[in-house]
Structure 1
């Protein structure tokens, strides 16, 4: 099996697209509306990893439900210090880090506009 994409239900498609294209630098490869009030966009990273964003325009208010995401997305970067500078220039708050582990990886955590945790990690090899 091969994982193709991670799906995230978003509050605001435009805001989420800006985040994933400008901050994470993914490219929109497909977007469509399968039915009225539902918008879907697929974005792809340079390594082929994909994220599917789904917006339900007429979704009932679920403000009483926890908005903390249980999804975390790990994204490899070539130069974490450069990414941190880019985030600072775009007023994106770093939630945790930078952290360096004994095996050499360095990483930080940020959040997308929906509360999804994004880990930017340098030196991660499998």
Structure 2
């Protein structure tokens, strides 16, 4: 069995695409109408894929606190600076829970938690 993608229901497709492309760094690979009032976009390549779905039948969605998407970065400090330049609030961190990883968390336009993590070199 192979994991294919994570699906996120969004309130605004254009706003969400901008966030996942510009802030997270995922490239949109596909965008299409999936029926009246419904649109689907796929982002990412290889093992990291995200599906965004907008459906006008779903009114103001609440992401809750149940999901966090984690992305590996080469430099946490560079990503923090980038996030701050974009005016996005860091809601948690940076935290180093053990000597091998350091991370921080922000939220996407719909409240989904996005974690950026750097794997640290062990001595």
On whether the aligned pair clears a TM of 0.5, the verdict is: yes
Q: Of residues 86, 97, 104 in structure 2, which corresponds to 1:101? A: 97
The match for 2:48 is: 49
Alignment of 1:1-126 (within 5 A): 1-45=1-45, 48-59=47-58, 61=59, 67-123=63-119
**Unaligned runs of at least 5 residues, structure 1:** none
Q: Distance in 2 between matches of 1:102 and 1:34?
A: 44
SS of alignment partner, residue 85 of structure 1: helix
SS of alignment partner, residue 35 of structure 1: coil
The normalised TM-score by structure 1 is 0.87
Q: How many equivalent residue pairs?
A: 120
Deviation at 1:68, TM superposition (A): 1.7
Q: Cα RMSD over matched residues? A: 1.7
**Unaligned runs of at least 5 residues, structure 2:** none
Deviation at 1:2, TM superposition (A): 1.4
The normalised TM-score by structure 2 is 0.89
